């Protein structure tokens, strides 16, 4: 986190450098195991996939998948609306794009890819150049696939959606679309770190919009910060850590693109970063 003031002496306060990393990975694996167990053992706990599911019989739906389905079918199904609204309200309260880091299986595998990239680079096996793209591309892709669904009557993106592809693979077994997922991982490994998630994935757009107004955010204590920038080194979207604070407007990371993954909290030896509810302080 960039600090506009003088550099302070770092006092190591972080005694658990992998705390949120371990908690989050455990949660991702648990959620996706519930899908598998519900199908394999027929226990009807969390049925379906991450595009559309039922929790104890109650409908849940990814907002982007729901929008595509309704525009493609020209039918505004009540259960689909309830499912999308339920998911929307949940992520409105719990950090919007936290879906990406706490639930999405592609994000989990892409993190493994990051470790492989780091290993290959440290061993001088491969050298990488980091290519970036316009962050507006995912919004263009979002509306493009909604338009295609409307015109074709088909939810075209769901055929190649890496999130639902991996979710289906965990539950029902691998399919041909996993070739596309592997291609994305190779692209991120050799060409652009977390390129799909950062620049292209339209699934995250719904959660970005929710994350912007979500009360659960990363809070920065500028009095503790030594300006080491370790948080930016581990962040998937490092611009979110600086774009608000550098403007002097807030000590909260207000960007909806923040995934609330907690990597920056784990990396901060100053103890300057933590999860905090932005609006709660004004109510109590």
pLDDT of 219 > 70? The answer is yes
pLDDT value for 13? 58
Identify the residue whose tokens are 């493609």: 72
Same domain, 178 and 110: yes
Domain of 266: which CATH number? 3.30.70.20
Same domain, 105 and 242: no
Range with lowest mean pLDDT among 73-82, 105-114, 194-203, 275-284: 275-284
**Across the chain, what does the average pLDDT equal?**
87
User: What confidence category does residue 246 fall into, taking pLDDT thresholds of 50, 70 and 90?
Assistant: low
Same domain, 149 and 240: no
Residue 163 lies in a domain: yes
User: What confidence category does residue 247 fall into, taking pLDDT thresholds of 50, 70 and 90?
Assistant: low
Strands (E), 167-272: 216-220
pLDDT value for 103? 95
Tell me if the pTM is above 0.85: yes
Give the pLDDT mean for 244-252.
Answer: 62
How many distinct structural domains can be found in the chain? 2
Handedness of CA 234, 237, 239, 241 (dihedral sign): negative
Q: Answer yes or no: are the C-beta atoms of 145 and 55 closer than 8 Å.
A: no
Give the pLDDT mean for 247-254.
Answer: 70
pLDDT of 126 > 90? The answer is no
Q: Answer yes or no: are the C-beta atoms of 26 and 101 closer than 8 Å.
A: no
The interaxial angle of helices 19-40 and 105-122, nearest 10 deg, is: 130
To the nearest whole percent, how much of the chain has pLDDT over 70? 90
Give the pLDDT mean for 129-140.
Answer: 90
Q: 118 is written with which tokens?
A: 């780091």
Q: Answer yes or no: are the C-beta atoms of 105 and 32 closer than 8 Å.
A: yes
pLDDT of 109 > 50? The answer is yes
Q: 232 is written with which tokens?
A: 């930016």
Same domain, 225 and 268: yes
Residue 145 lies in a domain: yes
Domain final position from 168, 185, 214: 214
Q: Which of 209, 162, 137 is nearest to 51 (CA)?
A: 162
Domain final position from 214, 242, 258: 214
| DSSP reduced 3-state for 59 | strand
pLDDT value for 281? 56
Domain final position from 214, 236, 253: 214
| Domain interval for residue 250 | 217-282
pLDDT of 16 > 80? The answer is no
Q: Please tell me the distance from the alpha carbon of residue 44 to that of residue 269, in angstroms, as a whole number.
A: 43
Identify the residue whose tokens are 């989990």: 108
Same domain, 137 and 187: yes
Residue 159 lies in a domain: yes
Q: Please tell me the distance from the alpha carbon of residue 62 to that of residue 256, in angstroms, as a whole number.
A: 17
pLDDT of 8 > 60? The answer is no
53: left (phi over 0), alpha (psi -120 to 50) or beta: beta
DSSP conformation class of 17: T
Range with lowest mean pLDDT among 5-14, 46-55, 75-84, 264-273: 5-14
Same domain, 242 and 164: no
Same domain, 207 and 227: no
Q: Which of 3-7, 126-130, 147-151, 241-245 has the highest mean pLDDT?
A: 147-151
pLDDT of 261 > 60? The answer is yes
Per residue in 226-237, pLDDT (tens digit) is 888 899 888 988
Same domain, 160 and 228: no
Same domain, 205 and 170: yes
Residue 12 lies in a domain: no
pLDDT value for 278? 82
Same domain, 243 and 122: no
Q: Please tell me the distance from the alpha carbon of residue 46 to that of residue 61, in angstroms, as a whole number.
A: 12
pLDDT of 184 > 90? The answer is yes
Same domain, 210 and 233: no
Same domain, 189 and 244: no
Give the pLDDT mean for 39-63.
Answer: 90
Element (H, E) at 48: strand 46-48
pLDDT of 78 > 60? The answer is yes
Residue 30 lies in a domain: yes
User: What confidence category does residue 7 fall into, taking pLDDT thresholds of 50, 70 and 90?
Assistant: very low
């Amino acid at each position: 986190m960039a600090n506009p003031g003088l550099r302070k002496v770092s006092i190591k306060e972080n005694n658990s450098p992998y705390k949120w990393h371990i908690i989050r990975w455990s949660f991702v694996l648990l959620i996706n195991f519930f899908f598998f167990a519900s199908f394999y053992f027929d226990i009807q706990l969390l049925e379906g996939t991450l595009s559309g599911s039922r929790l104890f019989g109650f409908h849940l739906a990814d907002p982007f998948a729901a929008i595509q389905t309704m525009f493609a079918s020209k039918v505004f199904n009540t259960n689909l609306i309830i499912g999308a609204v339920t998911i929307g309200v949940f992520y409105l309260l719990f950090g919007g794009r936290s879906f990406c880091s706490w639930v999405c299986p592609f994000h989990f595998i892409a993190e493994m890819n990051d470790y492989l990239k780091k290993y290959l680079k440290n061993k001088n096996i491969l050298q990488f150049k980091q290519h970036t793209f316009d962050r507006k591309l995912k919004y263009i892709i979002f509306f493009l696939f909604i338009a295609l669904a409307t015109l074709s009557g088909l939810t075209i993106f769901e055929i190649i959606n890496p999130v639902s592809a991996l979710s289906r693979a965990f539950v029902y077994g691998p399919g041909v679309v996993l070739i596309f997922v592997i291609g994305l991982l190779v692209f991120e490994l050799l060409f652009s770190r977390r390129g799909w998630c950062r620049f292209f994935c339209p699934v995250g757009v719904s959660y970005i919009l929710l994350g912007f107004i979500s009360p659960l955010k990363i809070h920065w204590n500028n009095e503790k910060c030594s300006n080491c920038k370790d948080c930016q080194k581990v962040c998937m979207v490092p611009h979110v850590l600086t774009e608000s604070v550098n403007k002097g407007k807030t000590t909260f990371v207000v960007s909806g693109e923040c995934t609330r993954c907690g990597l920056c909290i784990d990396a901060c030896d100053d103890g300057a970063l933590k999860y905090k509810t932005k609006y709660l302080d004004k109510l109590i």
